[in-house]
Amino acid sequence: MTIEHFDVVVVGAGLSGIGAGYHLKVRCPGRSYVIFEARERIGGTWDLFRYPGVRSDSDMYTLGYSFRPWEDAKAIADGPSILKYVQDTAAEHGIDRKIRFGHRVRRASWSTQEARWTVEIDRGDADRVLRVSCEFLLACGGYYTYAEGYTPAFPGVQRFAGRIVHPQKWTDDIDYIGKRVVVIGSGATAVTLVPELAKQAAHVTMLQRSPTYVVARPSEDHAANRLRRYLPSMLAYRITRWKRVLLGLYLQVLSGLQITVDGERVDPAKTLTYKGMMYSGVPNLASAFGYTNASWTLKCDLTFEYICRLLNYMQRRGLRQCTPRNSDPTVTEQPWVDFSSGYLQRSLHLFPKQGSRAPWKLHQNYARDILLFRFGRLEDGVMEFSRPLSSPVPVRA
């Protein structure tokens, strides 16, 4: 049976997936792509989270896309404003027409003989599994599951007469007016939620495991607003973006996809991460994952630029497979990230390892990554390129 084929399949239509769509459209105009989104709306995190006070903990001059200036006065934006920014970007560049909603990607199987992925998708309106094929798979579903947030076990919880709410599941019927509220945790969600609850609740307590510090910063970047008055919009945006850069749940890997290569199940925890986006021994697959010490989109933009370089390079040379392989026995394994947050520590064992040196080493440094991703050699002695002799060229969708 003939199945639909695309050059690239993108998983997820959130902030990352829309960014991927733009880069594919502009940098690889001859390539076909599709975006599969499990939910019914664009936006990912920014559509899912509806709790009071939801906003970004990164400024929009770096969380925003490199190709579309953030022009609102507020640098620290609320959730609805960010969602509109993502939606408008998708509509402006026609990316929304490439999205298929209600399509949850479950499994992907790579065949070296055919040099392609077979992707299995569950559709909300049908019992049957949809199958498509592609040459490159790009996972942009973020790093935590939308199905549920982490809820620790509380002894005696059955005796609690109040309501227990997870912010990820916030609904309009939640009533906290005049009530005593305890917020467990001290991360970005708690810091944004507590001030909003305090406006109408009788009393709010933030319960945290370890001390934290919070720095008060203005919601508007006055320098950025002045630059926009005197400089072209994109130039002002780029200057502000660099000024900001020089400041320095339940997790899941690969959007929860089950991956097999030539019939063998891939355990991401047993792989090394290549440049923070690909996996040792896994061909033609990348995932978007941002920085832990700076805005998410900075790294994602660089990742998509690199993937487009890679796709164009392979097309020019008639290559169909690219696989990062570690053949250096002196490269030692290290944890994926060195971060103490509970949500990371709970799931760190599921994630790939990083190596002791490049290109397996993760550098949380945007300026350094620009040199590596935009100008670094594609044939670096680690990336293996090939074209299987028996692989037919499929008909594109």
pLDDT averaged per 10 residues in sequence order, the chain, 397 residues? 91 93 96 94 80 68 77 75 90 96 94 95 80 95 60 74 77 81 76 80 82 59 50 45 46 76 92 92 90 71 94 95 93 72 57 84 83 91 85 55
**256 part of a folded domain:** yes
- The DSSP code sequence of 195-241 is HHHHTTSSEEEEE-SS--------SB-HHHHHHHHHS-HHHHHHHHH
Phi and psi of 227, rounded to 5°?
Answer: -60, -40
Same domain, 353 and 253: yes
**122 part of a folded domain:** yes
pTM for the full predicted model: 0.78
Same domain, 371 and 263: yes
**394 part of a folded domain:** no
Same domain, 266 and 360: yes
Is the C-alpha dihedral spanning 339, 340, 341, 346 positive or negative? positive
pLDDT number for residue 104: 92
pLDDT number for residue 134: 97
Same domain, 273 and 131: yes
pLDDT number for residue 43: 87
> Which has the closest alpha carbon to 217: 366, 56, 84?
56
Q: How many domains does the chain have?
A: 2
**DSSP 8-state secondary structure symbol assigned to residue 28:** -
Same domain, 173 and 46: no
CA–CA separation, 338 and 334 (whole Å): 9
Same domain, 138 and 161: no
What domain range includes position 11? 4-147+245-386
pLDDT number for residue 149: 56
Same domain, 257 and 138: yes
- Domain harbouring 136, CATH code: 3.50.50.60
> Which has the closest alpha carbon to 276: 144, 381, 346, 373?
373
Same domain, 173 and 318: no
pLDDT number for residue 64: 77
- The DSSP code sequence of 288-347 is ----SSS-HHHHHHHHHHHHHHHHHHHHHTT--EEEE----TTPPEE-S-----HHHHHH
